Copies of this chain bind each other. A is one copy, B any other.
C-alpha cells in the first residue's frame, strides 16, 4: 500500500518540506547536495556563513569533487554564492531578492493551477484538498499558526502536484526552496489566516468546476495578497534588526 505504483503516478508530490529522508543510498554528490540544502533551508547553515571547499568537504567527510558538484548546483539554485578563492557563502536575501523570487514562484504556481483546472479534479483529489482545507480551518481556530503554515505549504504543493507538468514542478521546487527561509522567518508574525482559508476554498471550487480562468484569477489574487503580506512582515522583521533573510 505504501509502496510506489507500477506506472509513474500522474500526480507527484512537490515541495516536500526540507528533509533528508531517503538520501542514504545516493551517490556522494547527491548526498552532499541534499545535506547542504537541508542545512541551509533549516538555518543550520546561517546566511552569510562562508566556508572553503576544503572545509565543506571535511564537514561532510567527502572529498572536494562531489562537494564541488553539489555547490555548483546550489549556486545555480541561488542558495549560495561561489566566490573563487573566498569560499562559498550562504546567500542572505534582501527584500528585493524575495520579491523577485516570489514574482517567479507565483507566476509558476498560477500556471500550475490553470493546468489543474483545465483537466479538472478527480473525486479522490477533490476530497483530499477539501480535507486539507478543513484541517487548516481548525488549526486557524486553534491559533496554531506554525502548523497552519506547514499545511499551507502542503496544500499549495498538493495542488501543484496535480498539474501533470514535471518541468513546472521542478521549477516550483527550486524557487520554493529559495523563499523557504524568509517564509519561515515571518511565521511568528502572521495574523490569523482567515482570508487565506477563504481564498483557498475559492481556488478549490474553481478547480473542481474545471474553470481555468476562474482558477487563475483566484490563485492570482490569493498570491498577490499573500505575497504582499509576506513582504510587509519581512520588512518589519528586517527593520527590527534581524540579519539576512
Contacts and interface: CB of A to CB of B under 8 A. Distances in A.
Contact of A69 (B68, B100, B171): B68
A78 interface: yes
Interface string A173-185: 0010010000000
Interface in A41-59: none
A65 B107 CA distance: 36
Contacts of A69: 68-69, 72
Contacts of A12: none
Contact of A108 (B73, B104, B115): B104
Contacts of A65: 65
A167 B68 CA distance: 22
Contacts of A107: 107-108, 110-111, 168
Interface residues on A, range: 20 to 34
Nearest to A174: B171
Contacts of A104: 108, 111, 165, 167-168, 171
Interface in A158-209: 165-168, 171, 175, 178
Contact of A111 (B73, B101, B103, B168): B103
B171 A101 contact: no
Contact of A168 (B72, B100, B166, B178): B100
Contacts of A167: 78, 100-101, 104, 175, 178
Contacts of A108: 104, 107-108
Interface of A: 65, 68-69, 72-73, 76, 78, 100-101, 103-104, 106-108, 110-111, 115, 165-168, 171, 175, 178
